[in-house]
Amino acid sequence: MPFATISVIGLGYIGLPTAAVFASRKKQVIGVDVNQNAVDIINRGQIHIVEPDLDMVVHAAVTEGYLRATTQPEPADAFLIAVPTPFMGDHVPDLTYIESASKSIAPVLKKGDLVILESTSPVGATEQMAAWLAYARPDLTFPQTHGENSDIRIAHCPERVLPGHVLRELVQNDRVIGGMTPKCSELAISLYKVFVQGECIVTNARTAEMCKLTENSFRDVNIAFANELSMICDELGINVWELIRLANRHPRVNILQPGPGVGGHCIAVDPWFIVSKTPKQAQLIRTAREVNDSKPDWVIEKVKVAVAEFLQANPEKTAKEVTIACFGLAFKPDIDDLRESPAAAITKNITMNHPGRTVAVEPNIDNLPENLLHRLELFSLEKALLETDIVVLLVDHKEFKSLNKKTICTKKVIDTRGIWT
């Protein structure tokens, strides 16, 4: 049977669901992660990340004996590398995790194996990974030197799933398959066809790398356009959400939504991979990043103005007596992920600079993370509505969207998502 054993290196937001889905198709899956704690949790049939329904799939895979986690790579027929690719200072991509993953699997590679890089990567990363593998295993041949006759097949197949919908999108999305040679692509397709119902479209590794970066940059540029419009409209006294709704009635216009900034681990990161490779050419992509990165400061200024206006309207109060509620801390609606979140960054800034009380309402968490604990209190929605003067709406969580508008009309509101406007 082809691919009797599959190994997934990196058991995070992409690797763990991918490992679990292969296991649910009755493949023997070895998950590898450097984090012993994550490995222990998975081997108990539990999960260390938040993703709807993933707990059930992992639990079934582990108890039925198809998924096992370890910190040490073991021989397998296919290796999928799904480790983080962050950037360093100056937005230069950091391939250290790919390098150490490659070096860790190299000793267990054997003739006929397939190695797939799934991590979002700058153009050229797959070739770099192939070079690291070849250096570590001079006894094996690789596509960069032996083309279609190589012992090891290598491809870049970027993940494209939306956090919160990972299990569905893994199966249904089309997949870009960037083999280093046509045979590499062919083998990669036969692996993904184990569970992918979408189309597997073949290209080369460099185009596949650029394709993933292009998708996220496209979204970033579109959101930057929306964010710039929101600042222009604010100057001109126009409701930007109404404006975008109207413009989107045009059959060939589709503008995304403005917000307090762009967060997460993908859209705000991946465009820099293009900019750092081609700084002269990537003018628009860089500017979009800068526009989106500047949006939290713009919101913070709006909050300062709101406090001043509130004090003018309530001269008996001092700034110390003004309570600000930040609605939402997550990086996008209806998730509990506060990492790389503009909402969390704005809240933290207000907490540090506002002399009065700052509270947060985040229905998706029970406790504030360590970095936000200082001077910030976590309130229920009801308590916040009773006890605060200014509401800064930062995330369009369903709990806020369904709020009766009458309950907030007595507050001074800064609505960065346009849900109450």
Q: Which positions are annotated as active-site residues?
A: 212, 266
Residues that bind ligand SAJ (CB under 6 A): 120, 159-163, 215-216, 219, 223, 256-257, 259, 262-264, 266-267, 331-332
Report phi then psi at 38, rounded to 5. -60, -40
d(CA 130, CA 280): 28
d(CA 53, CA 50): 9
d(CA 228, CA 66): 49
Q: Which is nearer to ligand SAJ, 233 or 256 (CB)?
A: 256
Strand order in the sheet with 358-361: 376-378, 358-361, 324-327, 390-393, 412-415
If one counts every other C-beta atom within 10 angstroms of the C-beta of residue 314, the result is 13
**Closest residue to ligand SAJ using C-beta atoms:** 266
| Torsion from C-alpha of 411, 412, 417, 421, nearest 10 degrees | 80
Q: Which is nearer to ligand SAJ, 7 or 216 (CB)?
A: 216
Q: Which helix (H) or strand (E) covers residue 272, if one does?
A: helix 270-277
Residue 199 C-beta-side C-alpha neighbours within 13 Å? 3
Residue 412 C-beta-side C-alpha neighbours within 13 Å? 18
Residue 5 DSSP label: E
d(CA 13, CA 221): 24
d(CA 361, CA 258): 21
**Looking at the DSSP assignment, which residues form a beta bridge with residue 140?**
none
Q: Which is nearer to ligand SAJ, 6 or 161 (CB)?
A: 161
Residues 6+ away with beta carbon under 8 Å from 410: none
Q: Which is nearer to ligand SAJ, 38 or 269 (CB)?
A: 269
d(CA 421, CA 411): 13
Residues 6+ away with beta carbon under 8 Å from 367: 378
Q: Which helix (H) or strand (E) covers residue 386, if one does?
A: helix 381-387
d(CA 87, CA 270): 9
Please, which contacts does 166-170 make with residues 24 or more away whose CB atoms are closer than 8 Å?
A: 166/13, 166/14, 166/17, 166/51, 166/54, 167/17, 167/21, 167/51, 167/52, 167/53, 167/54, 167/57, 170/17, 170/18, 170/21, 170/195, 170/196
